[in-house]
Amino acid sequence: MINLHKELDGTGVQAAHVGIGVSIGMSDGPGFPAAKPEEISPVHWELHTTRRGQAEVVFSR
């Protein structure tokens, strides 16, 4: 993804990845963090609207 992001630089097209280091909805097990979709979605939106120079963002707890 990082190489594709670099290749597309300056074209107006963004290639990026959001890594999600939690279970979505409910936890997969004891001690494993979870997050609601509405907590994760702003990360995607921010990457698209204000962090277009980044190829990757990680959501974790």
Q: If residue 59 lies in a helix (H) or strand (E), which one and from where to where?
A: strand 56-59
Q: What is the DSSP letter of 36?
A: -
The model's pTM? 0.79
State pLDDT tens for residues 27-49: 988 989 999 999 999 999 999 99
Q: If residue 19 lies in a helix (H) or strand (E), which one and from where to where?
A: strand 17-20
CA–CA distance, 6 with 15 (Å, rounded to integer):
9
Share of the chain above pLDDT 70, in %: 100
The SS3 assignment for 34 reads strand
Q: Where are the domains of the chain?
A: 2-59
Identify the burial level of 15 via C-beta atoms within 10 angstroms of its C-beta, where 0-12 means exposed, 13-18 middle and 19 or more buried. Answer: middle
